[in-house]
Every structure is written in structure tokens, then in C-alpha cells.
Amino acid sequence: MPSAPLLDREFLEKLERLTIHWQKSFAGLVGGHNVSRFAGGGQEFLDHRHFHHGDDLRAINWRAYLRLEKLFLKMFQVEPRVPVRMLLDTSGSMSAGSPEKFDYARKLAAALCYVGLVRLDTIAIQPFNEALGERCRSGGGRHRFSPVMDYLAGLRSEGRTDYLEVVRRFVTAYPQRGLLIVISDFLGAESCEKPLQYLADYGHELLLVQIWREEDRSPVWMGELDLVEAETGERLRVEVDATARERYTRAFDEFSKSLEALAARNAGRYVGISTSMAIEEFVFGSLVRARGVA
């Protein structure tokens, strides 16, 4: 029995009016969301100029020649070609509790990938936990979306997160700078701020999407608890009361704020989202406001 698709058709149709947005101009790359000053091999017409020896004969405006008996060359606007990459967290913490953050993350990744494909961007989805997983690269239009869906549906959430190792390998594997969307809960045994700072320092534009469950932020348990960390299996015995829960929530919020500050400090963006919010509401609400998509 085939499993249900990650995203329904109606939602995909709505996504077609969006564009993945980035702000930086990357060295060695043309593009960005401002109109290019350079003419080149794009689709959009830019201007005419006189034909010079050695120009491409295919770009000659033959209609103008018949009318004016002069050779004019058509010039086209250069389209941006900034690589868009997505780091998708597949560690064990993503599947702790219900509903699973991992399902939410996969849906979000699929939605952003579809937005990019519609705009003819090239997108690489790179799962990670302790290390980088097998990536999925797609581009060339919306008709290439189906393999992406199959790829995302086949991913499993397991293992622990090692951000430092992941960043080290990512930088090695992708020397070209570009937009880097990190979809994760950023929770685990080790801190993720420093590795993320390394990525920013390397020249990537960061779009951090933090996903959490309500219980990750505001636990409902009371009394004596034997807490087990999903990724490492480490245990902690605590006695939870209302004060402890408030402290916990405060600590979580401070962590989210530190991620947001990191992104802002490096000309990136940060969006936090609870799994209780519908994915459509998130994309067309929080993500648009954060200028992740436009």
C-alpha cells in the first residue's frame, strides 16, 4: 500500500508563486535577486547592440536587418545561479515524542525544494546526523520534484548529531558559497552555535529553521522523572515542578534567541516553528516574514 505523499497538490499549487530568497552576493557568482547589470545567456530580453565580428550569429535580430539593413544583436539578462543547499537533520532527537519533528522537517524541505524547482534553481538536500548522508540534487523544473519526494520519504531519523564534524565535511564537499538552509531542532548533546558560526564565516548565507514540539519547549510532566536523551541514551533523574518547568522554558527560549542572534550577526535569518502549526501557515506566514521566501 503506497504511503501518503508528503505534500498535497493544492499546497504545491500555492507554493508556485513563491521564490527562495537570499540576500548576499557571492564572490564568483552572478545572480541575486536584484536585476543583473550583465547581459548574458538568459531568457529575459535586455537590449540591442551593434553586431561585431565574432558575436553569436544566433542572437542577430533578423527582422531588424530586413527593415534597416543593419545587423543588430539581441542581448539577454543574466539569471542568478546561486547554489541553494539544505541541511536536513535526521538525528534521533528529531523523532523523539509525537508528533515527530522529522516528519515536519521533511515536509518543509519538500516545500522549499518545490519552490526552488519551479524557479529553475538548483537545490541540494543534504541529510545529516553524525556525518553527512547521501545527498539529493535536483534542478530543471517542477517535473523533477517526484524523485525528491521519494528521496525524502525514504529518509530515516536515527543517530546522534555531531555538528562540528558535519560542518567540517560540508565545507570540504561544497567549496562554492551559497544559500544554506538548515532545518533542525538544533537540540542534542553538543552545542551547535560554534559550528554554525564556522559556516557563516566560510561565506554561506544561513537560513536557520528551528523546529520543536510543544513538549520540547513547555514540558507537561510533573513529579519525579527519569529523563532519557533520545540521541545518546544519557539519563537524568529530576523532580519536576512548576518552577522547574518555567526555568526549562526560559532556557529553551534563550537558546532560540542565541540562534536568532547568530543568524542576524552573519546576515542570515532565523525562523522558529512549533510542530503544532500547520506547515502551510508556517511557509506563508513566518517564513515569508523572515524573507526566507518571497
For residues 105 and 170, the answer to whether their CB atoms sit within 8 Å is: no
H or E element at residue 272: strand 269-274
Enclosing H/E stretch for 148: helix 145-153
Min. distance of Cβ 149 from another protein in angstroms? 26
Residue 54 identity (one-letter amino acid):
G
By C-beta, is 89 or 121 nearer to another protein? Answer: 89
Q: Beta-strand (E) ranges in 25-71?
A: 39-50
Q: Shortest gap between Cβ of 210 and another protein (angstroms)? A: 12
Judged by CB, which is closer to another protein: 127, or 188? Answer: 188
Output the smallest distance, CB 25 to another protein, in A.
Answer: 37
The least CB distance from residue 217 to another protein, in Å, is 9
CA distance 57 to 38: 20
Interface ranges with another protein (CB under 8 A): 93-94, 96-97, 101, 185, 187-189, 212-213, 216, 219-231, 234, 236-244, 247-248, 251-252, 255
Of 58 and 237, nearer to another protein (C-beta) is 237
Eight-state DSSP code of residue 16: T
Query: Rounded to an integer, what distance in angstroms lies between the CA atom of residue 249 and that of residue 255?
Result: 10
Q: Smallest distance from the beta carbon of 18 to another protein, in angstroms?
A: 30
Report in angstroms how near the CB of residue 230 gets to another protein at its nearest: 5
Report in angstroms the alpha-carbon separations of 10 from 7, 16, 103, 112.
Answer: 8, 10, 19, 15
Residue closer to another protein by CB (options 13, 226) is 226
Q: Which is nearer to another protein, 187 or 209 (CB)?
A: 187
CA angle, corner 191, sides to 209 and 87, nearest 5?
A: 35
Q: Which is nearer to another protein, 190 or 201 (CB)?
A: 190
Of 134 and 224, nearer to another protein (C-beta) is 224
Which among 58, 84, 60, 63 is positioned nearest to 205, based on CA atoms?
A: 84
Look up residue 10 and give its three cell numbers.
493544492
Q: Which is nearer to another protein, 81 or 250 (CB)?
A: 250
How far apart (Å, rounded) are the C-alpha atoms in residues 84 and 77? Answer: 21
Measured distance CA(38)–CA(32) in Å, rounded: 12
Please report the beta strands in 60-198, taking only residues with DSSP state E, as ranges in sequence order. 72-77, 84-89, 123-128, 136-138, 179-184
Q: ∠254-184-101 over CA atoms, to 5°? A: 100
Instruction: Name the minimum Å distance from CB 196 to another protein.
Output: 16
Residue 249: CB minimum distance to another protein, A = 8
